[in-house]
Structure 1
Amino acid sequence: MNQKMTIPRFRLPQFVASLGQKLPQWPHSLVLTGALNAALKLKLLPESELALLEDKLFRVRVLDTGGEALYTFRSGLFRPVFQATREPDLAFAANLSAYLQLLTRQEDPDTLFFNRELEITGDTELGLIVKNMLDAVEWPNLPQLPLLRG
């Protein structure tokens, strides 16, 4: 039996975000830039568009976890930013479930944006470039994990 996993829309309890906001945020930036650089190395990101990201500041907030990642793209690599000295050129904010739905391609950014589940602020043109880059990613086929039954 081959079933596709569906990520339900959920919101973590408020206390999770309250705790998460009190924790250091730099690990999020390290993890996200590590994943983005791995995608670069695997040639999953369209290289022709990367120059348009040069020296831009990005912020990704996971609202219901209280987590935030800041990063930039410079000299061919995504780099964590530990202390922003200016407002980001492009910022995303959503609950964890929306990001998981994006990652699994269960939902597209436009649908989440128009349903007010994904907030995008900053440079509109840069936002379209990033959206088109993400849409162009050819994710490798991963084996289906069997669903656990209780």
Structure 2
Amino acid sequence: MPALPALPRPPLPSHLLPGSLRQRIGERLATLRIPDFTVPAPVAKLVSRLPQQPPTHVLTLALNLALDRILPRDTLEPLSGRHLQMRVLDAGLTLDFTLGERGFRRATPAAGARPDLILSATTRDFMALALREEDPDTLFFSRRLRMEGDTDLGLLVKNTLDAVDWDALKAKLLGRHG
């Protein structure tokens, strides 16, 4: 049976747009800010009653995509085997995860066991942190990002986020090279 021909690699979404439109969208994205918002309480109440595994899976998938690309595994070694928890306060989410040999995965907390590190913020603040609209120090000192537990792990997470070259990553995603 003959081998099937290789399929052409699809272009990045940014390459599908004409140059001037791509540039205008890039400029708008550069100045776009996340508005202040809070997830409505009835939605948070409902979400808090739903299984937390699906959103935890999405979080660990995103972290694993970043692992070794923008998050250096050797720097994150102290997180290995540690129980980490992310609380999205206004959305009613509690995401338990850990870093193992094969990357990030959902953690199953032992009854009564406290996570090694708990990061708490609102949906908006986590989004602003991820998009670099806010830095961890600003959120922390304004009490919008809370870290509980092992302060050395919290400092490691903060320093790792600060060390990522977000501008290079953004340029790559927008199709601007060099």
CA distance in 2, matches of 1:8, 1:33: 26
Return the structure number with greater relative CO, CA threshold 8 A, min gap 6.
1
| Residue 65, structure 1, aligned to residue 91, structure 2 | yes
1:116-131 equivalence runs, <5 A: 116-131=143-158
**Equivalent residue pairs, number:** 142
Give the deviation of 1:10 after TM superposition.
Answer: 1.7
1:12-91 equivalence runs, <5 A: 12-41=39-68, 43-81=69-107, 83-85=108-110, 86-91=113-118
Note if contact 1:29-1:70 (Cα within 8 Å) is conserved in structure 2: yes
Q: One-letter code of the match for 1:58?
A: L
Note if contact 1:46-1:137 (Cα within 8 Å) is conserved in structure 2: no
CA distance in 2, matches of 1:95, 1:18: 14
Whichever structure has more strand as a proportion of its residues is 1
Whichever structure has more helix as a proportion of its residues is 2
Give the share of equivalent positions with the same residue, in percent: 44
* Structure 1 match to 2:129: 102
CA distance in 2, matches of 1:117, 1:50: 24
What TM-score do you get using the length of structure 2 for normalisation? Answer: 0.74
* Structure 2 match to 1:136: 163
- The alignment's C-alpha RMSD in Å is 1.6
Unaligned 5+ segments in structure 1 are 145-150
Note if contact 1:46-1:136 (Cα within 8 Å) is conserved in structure 2: no
| 2:35 counterpart SS class | coil
Q: Deviations over 1:74-99 (max 9, x none)?
A: 11411111x31121111111110001
What TM-score do you get using the length of structure 1 for normalisation? Answer: 0.87
* Structure 2 match to 1:147: none
Give the deviation of 1:66 after TM superposition.
Answer: 0.9
| Residue 6, structure 1, aligned to residue 6, structure 2 | no
Rg larger in structure: 2
Unaligned 5+ segments in structure 2 are 1-23
Give the deviation of 1:34 after TM superposition.
Answer: 0.7
CA distance in 1, matches of 2:73, 2:50: 34
